[in-house]
Chain A
C-alpha cells in the first residue's frame, strides 16, 4: 500500500521535472532558465527523498542536503552576476 502510493508520488515528480524542462529549454530570458534550474533542484531533492525510502538508506539525505546547498549558492552567485557583474 505504502509502496503503491509512493510510486504514484514518483510519477507526479517525474511529470513536474518534465514540465520544468520544457520551461528550461523554451525560456525567453536567462532569468527564466535560472528559475527553472531552481525548481528542478527542489524537485530533485524530493525525488532523492523518495528514492532513499525505496533503497532504505538514510545516507541519501546527506546527498540531498549537499545538492540543495550547492544550488542555493549557485543561484545567489548567478543573480549577483546578472545585477552588477562578478
Chain B
C-alpha cells in the first residue's frame, strides 16, 4: 500500500498534466497567433512545473535536479514566448477581427502621446 505523500504527489502530477491538456486545447481553438502564444505559454508553464513537482513529491530524494528543471522552465519559457510575439508583430501578422485595441500600432501610440501632452498643458 502506498503512503499518503505518494498519492498527493500523483494527484499534483495529474493536475499538471490536465493544465498541459488545456493549453494544447487552447492552441487548437484560439483564433489568432498572439492568443495562441498566450495560451500556449502560460498554461503549459504551470502544467509542466506542477507535473515535475508531483514527481519530486513522489521521489523525495530527486529534489535537486527537479528544482533546477522547474526554475529553468520558469525562466526560459516566458522569454521565448516574448521573443516570438515580437517577431510575429514585426512580420506583420494581423490581429484577429474581434480584438479591441492594438497598443503597439503607430496610430494608438500617437493618440496616447497627444493625450499626455494635453494633460500636461491643463496642469
Binding site for B on A (CB under 8 A): 1-2, 5-6, 8-10, 12-13, 15-17, 19-20, 22-23, 29, 31-32, 34-36, 38-39, 42-43, 45-46, 49-50, 52-53, 58, 61-62, 64-65, 68-69, 72, 75-76, 79-80, 82-83
Binding site for A on B (CB under 8 A): 1-2, 6-7, 9-11, 13-14, 16-18, 20-21, 23-25, 27-28, 33, 36-37, 40-41, 44-45, 47-48, 51-52, 55, 58-59, 62, 65-66, 68-69, 72-73, 76-77, 79-81, 83-84, 86-88, 90-91, 93
- A75→B83 contact, CB < 8 A: yes
Told that A1-B1, A29-B88 touch, could you supply 19 new A-B pairs with CB distance under 8 A? A5-B7, A5-B11, A5-B13, A12-B14, A16-B20, A16-B24, A23-B28, A34-B84, A35-B27, A38-B81, A38-B84, A39-B24, A42-B77, A43-B44, A45-B69, A49-B51, A68-B76, A82-B90, A83-B87
